[in-house]
A and B are shown apart, each in its own frame.
Chain A
Amino acid sequence: MANTLLDLTAPLTTEVLTKLHAGDHVTITGVIYTARDAAHKRLVEALNQGKPLPFDIRGQIIYYVGPTPPKPGQVIGSAGPTTSYRMDPYTPPLLEAGLKGIIGKAGRGPAVREALVKNKAVYFGAVGGAGALLAKYIKSAEVIAYEDLGTEAVRRLTVEKFPVIVVNDTYGGDALQEGKAKWRQPEVLAR
């Protein structure tokens, strides 16, 4: 079912991002960076202090993931997305700094959704809980910052045809709101 005609590679341009619409199934190939709660706090602190970030964020993609440790022979352990709303407070400043793509799980709050439209960036969803399967699309993993955070360190990953859905596009479209509206049965809820 996945319409994977579009394979995206960072740095993401406005031209490519404005082609995407909520509900599109696409894939991602190339470099993505990982960060979640603790790393986001440090990244935003660095921005606030005018210090450089551990990587040039302009045009890049962040994946909210804290993987299991790799078994011998594995590039990375199980690596599905973590719940995104926890990173909401840190997201608008990163978008202003040039972040163009975010991969996570479930919905974002209104401030993030507005910042995505304003900064022409896209929020993608990967299937939560599919940690073993999603790890297969990750071809390399390297800790590049905040090693003391262990599973929450910033890693540079290279991925190949990593499958995601466009949850929030640059136009304000929202796949979660649209999906729920389509399948909701108000007459059953009213009984």
Chain B
Amino acid sequence: MARATSTKSKVRDVQASAITEAMARLCISANTDLPDDVLQALKQAREKEESPGAQHVLSIIIENAQIARDQSVPLCQDTGTTLVFVDLGQDAHIVGGSLDEAIQAGVRKGYNEGYLRKSIAKDPFTSRTNTGDNTPAMVHTEIVPGDKVKLTVLPKGGGCENMSKLAMLRPADGRKGLVDFVVQSVEAAGGNPCPPVIVGVGVGGSADRAVLLAKRAIMRQPVGQHSPDPETAKLEAELLEKVNALGIGPQAWGGRTTALAVHVETFPTHITSLPVAVNIQCHSARQKSVVI
């Protein structure tokens, strides 16, 4: 069988300095400009809310987003741990410096020029001295087809990140065990993650993969978009209904809107395992991407 031969293989050079510049801009815009789909979801939640107190909180959150965007100031004082997701095209070639250093330099620049808070402690269990520039960013890199470099910045607040949970369930615990664990995790979190939240659930994989799936799940856009798999979509709908039946509400002051959405991502897993990870995103669901 004839094998298609490619033309001379094309590898595209991408300057490290371009990555630094893009990162700096993303850090600033991610912290000041709430994504439109999240703003829409908050407005819809306010329409549907039955508690006047909860509607009041949602109005404050919506007004805050408008101030932040208009005046280019941070939505929240916790400008977060800088999570960075890189989709690196396998035909892209980084030149002029190391990819990781280019990313860290961009975070340093953005957090300095954008008047963002520096919230990273160097030694987690000893002195906990602030690193002073919000580095190191937490970088995840995936190699993908093509020659582009896609950068996604997700400033992740400590309040919601501290509510992350992982359970290695038994297969016998099943779907019910999964549902109970997710609902209990959201209940235990209460007001700490700044509801209304976006709940990310990772099911399957290894322990580390499940946690990453949960993080990817909170990044799904537009917020509330269901999984393409019908069984997973049904699970998402049931989880959202139950989480909102907890009555926690916006800022845990009581109401119908504890979560704007629940997104579930799954992956094959060991025959003995049922890993379930929960990652919670606050209502300041900040995320910005650019393709270089």
Contacts and interface: CB of A to CB of B under 8 A. Distances in A.
Nearest to B59: A1
Contact of A185 (B51, B116, B247, B283): B247
B201 to A, nearest CB: 17
A191 B248 CA distance: 19
Contacts of A121: none
A54 interface: no
A71 B114 CA distance: 8
A131 B247 contact: no
B255 interface: yes
Give the interface size bracket for B toward A.
Answer: 35 or more
Given A105-B159, A182-B254, A131 B76 contact: yes
Given A66-B77, A82-B159, A176-B190, A125 B254 contact: no
Interface in B37-63: 51-53, 55-57, 60-61, 63
B245 interface: yes
How many residues of A sit at the interface, in one of the four size bands?
35 or more
Nearest to B69: A132
Given A165-B253, A184-B247, A189-B246, A67 B77 contact: yes
B61 A78 contact: no
A106 B191 contact: yes
Nearest 3 interchain pairs by C-beta: A179-B254, A106-B191, A183-B247
Given A68-B117, A183-B256, 7 more contacts: A68-B116, A70-B115, A71-B115, A77-B74, A131-B74, A131-B76, A150-B130
25 contacts: A23-B53, A66-B117, A66-B119, A68-B77, A68-B115, A68-B117, A74-B73, A78-B76, A105-B192, A106-B191, A106-B192, A107-B191, A128-B282, A129-B284, A131-B75, A132-B74, A133-B67, A151-B118, A175-B253, A176-B254, A180-B252, A183-B254, A183-B255, A184-B247, A188-B241
Interface of A: 1-2, 23, 65-71, 74, 77-80, 82-83, 85, 105-107, 125, 127-133, 135-136, 150-151, 165, 175-176, 178-186, 188-189, 191
